[in-house]
Structure 1
Amino acid sequence: MSSHAGHGHHDAPAPATPVHAHAHAHAHGPGGDPATDIDWDVLGPLLEQEAELNAAQYEEAARWIAALPTAPKVRRVLDVGSGPGVVSCLLAEVFPEAEVVAVDATPALLERAKNRARRLGVIDRFQTLEAELPEGFSRLGEADLIWAGNSLHHLGDQRAALAGFAGLLRPGGTVALVEGGLPTRRLPRDIGIGQPGLEARMGAAAATRFEHMRSELPGAKRETEDWGALFTAVGLVPQGTRSFLLDLPAPLSRPARDHVVASITREREVLGELLTAEDSAVLDRLLDPEDREGLHHRPDVHLLTARTVHLGRRDTT
């Protein structure tokens, strides 16, 4: 399991934006080898940039957790599917007495996480752990807070994985699942070229790809996405659900616009044959830096999404 969300990886499922939360699962075609198909020198900075754009959402979520009346004293945090460590470092800042462990299956992203922790001055309380779940559960150690940012759905048996998280919690500890939310929107419904509803169709294609990814996971089991019920099923007490909004209206700043261009470029590659010829042609125009109707020049490009966090707590008894 390696979500590489950078948290987002990971947006989601938010199928309309597969790159930010599902890079590991969606960056290669059916039968492709993720270890060889992904260029982390390209994707790593993209994941890091997206997580930085979403930093305010994640900080608000972390401070919500810290302020709960039932919040435990957080001494050790596991960021599962940490990607390049943007959220890991944020958690280290929000919980200044805690050791934070960034857990991921990709060494290149863990190196980015470690370098980030060093730059931000939290390296003395920061560790990285290369682990593939569920096999690596026994190596994670106990924790007061487990942050799983769009990573649970990368495990075939989500109920068993959540039970594994629950088993790592100290009394009073919390699991924070970032799952669900809303598809990202970056363009109006009608952009003046092609058929209206381009992003909605891209979302439908990404949802198809997501289901294919889920079906190919080892031990894949279908699970109703009632996270509160799943918490209860594994012995945790639901502690609430909140969604956090990212709303960057047009006109976008240059870094945000560059991210939109990079993310849609990646989606164009990932969705490939799932798109119609007409939509593919429209995307080619949108990605052409010389086209005045393209993303580089359009005044209506924006960035709007919501991420949902679900909390489950281990009883103190």
Structure 2
Amino acid sequence: MEEKIVLVLNEMSEYLTIPQMKKLQEVIIKNFAENEVEKTNISNDEFLKMFLAAKQIEGCSERTISYYQTTVEHLLSQTNTNVRKITTEEMRDYLANYQKRNNCSNVTVDNVRRNISSFFSWLEEEDYILKSPMKRIHKIKTKTVVKNTISDEGIEKLRDNCKEKRDLAIIDLLYSTGIRVGELVNLNIDDIDLEGRECVVYGKGDKERRVYFDAKAKVHLKEYIAERHDNNKALFVTLDAPHDRLKISGVELRLRRLGRKLELERIHPHKFRRSMATRAIDKGMPIEQVQKILGHSQIDTTMQYAMVNQTNVKTSHQKYMS
């Protein structure tokens, strides 16, 4: 900071008289010193609270904010240094020790790196630090794992073994729209247009988008809504009174239990989203349209979901290369 003040004074010396220069120096030092004292008095915990408040205003979900909080709190618990003075070397040591101590994968460590980077980037944007210590710590290389999707046979097994109309409607809506489980549980009955087979959902950052469902989903949604006798505006509610809005954990638990019962590999809500994207790509839907349906801001994210079916790759190879 002192070096910058000297540079400013040197540059202005050509244009100001000596008394003016002295006054300028006095004002700069006074104001910058006061500002520095104010920043120095802010504790690490206060910086974290301000960061989380900023993320909440930006529209981040409770789950995302909780993840930020847990990650940064762990970092702060491992250091006595004020965040304004943490160096790149200290952060490299922290990440290396984190991985060694927890015996976790590169994917997990990179998620930690990304969350901490967001925290320090915010500090930089708000002028609490000159430069984030995470800028020179790049993305940690990870193996690209082709994640499985739910097969057509698996979907039919899930449908055939649903004892509740609600669960059948959930499965069909997830599979045909590719919406996130958080978007699913936030839906209200009024958000659903059964005749138009479409609904409006609010994704990350409360971004509104329209998604579409198939005829099976329409039939099962209609049957489920018709059997409801509660006054809750939520589309999906608990089976037992007082019929509260269904939570994310409720959907996850229900699908996981059904999948285990049928001996299907790891059935969870996000797998329906990936399956929908892969199926759409395999059937020839342009990737840009899949991106819009899924609500991704970057097309690279869509490509990660849309793992092309290996059988189709083999068929194409035989068609074009034989």
TM-score, with length taken from structure 2: 0.25
With a CA cutoff of 8 Å and minimum separation of 6, indicate the structure with the bigger relative contact order: 1
Q: Which structure has the greater CA radius of gyration?
A: 2
Structure number with the higher strand fraction is 1
TM-score, with length taken from structure 1: 0.25
